Structure 1
Amino acid sequence: MTRVNVMRPWLGDEEVTAVAEAIRSGWVAQGPRVAAFERAFEAAMQAPYAVATSSCTTALHLALAVGGVGAGDDVVVPSFSFIATANAAVYVGARPVFADVDPATGNVTRDTVEAALTPSTRAVVVVDQGGVPVDLDPIRELCDAKGIVVVEDAACGAGSTYKGRPVGATAPISAWSFHPRKIITTGEGGMITTGREEWATRARRLREHAMSVSAADRHASVLAPAEEYGEVGFNYRMTDLQGAMGLVQLGRLPEIVARRRALADVYAKQLADIPGLRPVTDPAWGTGNFQSYWVEVEPEYPLSREALLAHLADAGISARRGIMAAHRQAPYQELTPTSGLPITDRLTDHTLILPLFHELTESDQERVIAALRGPV
């Protein structure tokens, strides 16, 4: 019995050729292909500025840094997210403050953010969890009036839309991921998008040790100018190998999203009559890319979430537990709010992620659906 994977990136000969050409060029560090990828990403995401980084985590770190967040500040974040969302606040010396999420979308809302605000809140990080677009405008209305920076963690969001535009397009600053688990990949890698030129300029410096002259400009010069270092920076650069791959992957994005939405539609129709399984759906304000197709296992279903995972594994199907809860992990347990995070706990304990990727076959998807029907 062949295994059905939960996820697999869609890669082809075009990516191989692009990376090989970068190698043959002799320019494999950050250079012209990264710059081209940034320009293409700006256009695709309707963002004035894009800054490539080594990962989404480093993009989040830089986003908070250029947004002025530092020691003594609080940053409101969802616990219902990969732990990097909370870690980024710690990297700048701030304290993560956990907000609960909406049970239908898994995203923070204006109400859950407002409940988590403190007198020291300097920033709020909102997440497009699993590719479901966050309802950004009400959160910005709340935070902009208070001078609080809103950072959109769009790690899972490439190809999702909010009110007819790409997610992240209307956020002050957004961070993106190109990890293989995401919609498009460069192996590892990330991106910042922003409408503020000064933030983009500083992020470009900080990703290269805060050098006054970029490495690409120095290497392109016969007589390289002397560089200066005005502050402590980081080595958060993307390579041209990754940039070359990213350009090909970005060109595939519309086709990838269309395929994933078609597969998600099959799941939605086939699972609609199974009691106790609640699948994720598009919210009223946008469309998701179904980076993760997650299902909540409710009490009506004959098996618990853990028993269902085991049942699927016995059928050769690799599903995954739903999104983690950062407040349950050792570094953050003491930061659990006194009121608790009931929706986060519920979703973390009762959701699972089903196989969904570009090359998922009809027969393999039918195997997954048959296995889900089996216990009913």
Structure 2
Amino acid sequence: MIAIAKPYLTDAEAQAAYDTILTGWVTQGPRVEEFEKKFALYAGAKYAVAVSNCTTALHLAMIVAGIGEGDEVLCPSLSYIATANAVRYVGAKPIFVDVEYDTYNIDPIDAEKKITPKTKAILIVHQMGMPANINAFRILCDKYKLKLIEDAACAAGSSYKGDRIGANSSLVCFSFHPRKVITTGEGGMITTDREDYYQRLKLLRQHGMSVNDRVRHEAKDLIFEDHVEVGYNYRMTDIQAAVGIKQLEKLDWIVDERRKIAASYNKAFKNVPFIQLPIEKKGCFSNYQSYCIYLKDGCPIDRNTLMQGLLDCGIATRRGIMTSHRETAYKDQPTNATLPVSESLQDNSIILPLYIPMQVRDIQFVIDAFLGMVHKKLQEVLV
């Protein structure tokens, strides 16, 4: 079976985890601090705060941005459900915005139409690692005095207008899940350029504790902590951070290799009618966290038949990105969403295998199987 994705982990990560375990300090500690500093430097941000996953990162971002009960946050429905859920965690309402047909990213034109006096923030998503139009949303947020938050779960290593994702906004949230470009097993990171956000994020991730464990451990004088506000247990362990440090060292190389695989797909599929390939707009640099093909109207084979055929050949695929407003958890939410582009992209897109190290023969096998099924069906239709 050719998998849809695999984490790229080596002996270096295993050794780093092993060495950290032997130090006796395995919870949030010196390796987490090192990972934060190195990630902030890589992303071009002033600060970075490591957390347990990207969902908790989004939750904390909502809190420090001042989003609360009765507020509205514009966000795409075409995203993993955690994007919208984070808005609901703080009692706010996600207002679903349609996406651009060619990038799968939130549409600034539709977003402006949905701004109301209750709107407090726009939560953009860099879907599948393809950067969203940050400048357009920064203009919107400045115009209507809104907060801009980036869900960059898939976008470590991607860039926008020459800046790495993480350097453009005050709250940018990353994921290190195994399906992402780099992984710590589970894990997340928030980058920010604001010291007040940085200090409060560190407080909130550890129960609102005024003095963290490491400070107390290293103190020469007796210290008693205070819990200054209701916080959460959203910490990253030092074991995870040690793995993350080694993954970060390889990130640029991993992105280069992923882009080579995407280029192979692009070359093979570029002249196939009825399909749309990923589009990298000017100024955007994708890490190709996923490679997604859209089957246009008139395609001779439907998406599910194609997926099953590839599975029968031993090739795993996934459907297009989910639409949260059509999930059971949102059936009782009066979204009043009219999202034709989002729904079409979910219903007619297929994600192909892409991971490091994916062998050349496996890439070619996917290409041949895909083209073979499409051409066979096309011949049947013509006959």
> TM-score under structure 2 normalisation?
0.96
Question: Match of 1:21?
Answer: 19
> What corresponds to 1:114 in structure 2?
112
Q: State the 1:337 CA deviation.
A: 4.6
Gaps of 5+ in 2: 376-383
**Structure-to-structure mapping, 1:131-146, within 5 angstroms:** 131-146=129-144
**C-alpha RMSD over aligned residues:** 1.1
- What is residue 167 of structure 1 aligned with on the other side? 165
Q: 1:326 aligns with which of 324, 327, 334?
A: 324
The one-letter amino acid of 2:249's match is G
Paired with 1:261 and 1:214, the residues of 2 have a C-alpha distance of 41
Aligned partner (choices 94, 99, 122) of residue 92 of structure 2? 94
SS at match of 1:63: helix
Q: 1:331-370 maps to which residues of 2 (within 5 A)?
A: 331-335=329-333, 337-338=335-336, 340-370=338-368
CA distance in structure 2 between the aligned counterparts of 1:325 and 1:52, rounded to whole angstroms: 28
- What corresponds to 1:37 in structure 2? 35
Residue number among 195, 198, 210 corresponding to 2:196 in the alignment: 198
Q: Is the 8 A contact 2:325 2:337 kept in 1?
A: no
CA contact (8 A) 1:123 1:149 kept: yes
Paired residues of 1:275 and 1:300 also in contact (CA < 8 A)? no
Which residues of 2 match residues 1-376 of structure 1 at below 5 A?
3-335=1-333, 337-338=335-336, 340-375=338-373, 376=375
What is the match of residue 378 of structure 2? Answer: none
Instruction: Determine if contact 1:29/1:240 at 8 Å carries over to the other structure.
Output: yes
Say if 1:119 and 1:179 are closer, same or farther in 2 by CA, change over 3 A: same
CA distance in 2, matches of 1:286, 1:336: 35
Moved more, 214-223 or 123-132: 214-223
User: Could you tell which deviates more after superposition, 215-224 or 93-102?
Assistant: 215-224
Q: Distance in 2 between matches of 1:224 and 1:77?
A: 47
CA drift of 1:162 comes to 0.1
Q: Is the 8 A contact 2:121 2:147 kept in 1?
A: yes
User: C-alpha displacement at 1:72, in angstroms?
Assistant: 1.1
Distance 1:169 1:341, change over 3 A: same
CA distance in 1, matches of 2:294, 2:281: 16
Q: Unaligned regions of 5+ residues in structure 1, if any?
A: none
Report the secondary structure of 1:145's partner residue: helix
The CA distance in 1 between the partners of 2:102 and 2:334, in whole Å, is 22
Contact residue 135 and residue 285 of structure 1 kept, 8 A: no
Deviation readout 1:28-68 (Å, 9 max, x if unpaired): 00000000000000000000010000000000000110011
Distance across 1 between alignment mates of 2:307 and 2:297: 15
The code of the aligned residue for 2:29 comes to G
Secondary structure at 1:302's aligned position in 2? coil
> Does the 8 A contact of 1:98 with 1:335 survive in 2?
no
Cα distance in 2 for partners of 1:313, 1:63 equals: 39
SS in 2 for 1:246: helix
Contact 1:132 1:283 (8 Å CA) reproduced: no
Which secondary structure does the structure 2 equivalent of 1:80 belong to?
Answer: coil
* Count of residues in Structure 1 that have an aligned counterpart in Structure 2: 374
> How much does 1:223 deviate?
4.5
Range moving further from structure 2, 342-351 or 110-119: 110-119
- Counterparts of 1:267 and 1:139 in 2: how far apart (Å)? 31
SS of equivalent to 1:171: coil
Residue range with higher mean Cα deviation, 248-257 or 163-172:
163-172
Displacement, 1:124? 1.0
Deviation of the 1:301 alpha carbon: 2.4
Matched position secondary structure for 1:122: strand
Deviates more, 1:235-244 or 1:301-310: 301-310
Amino acid in the other structure paired with 1:107:
N
Give the alignment's TM-score, normalised by structure 1. 0.97
**Conserved? CA contact 1:6–1:318, under 8 Å:** yes
**How far apart, in 2, do the equivalents of 1:217 and 1:146 lie?**
42
Q: Which is worse superposed, 218-227 or 237-246?
A: 218-227
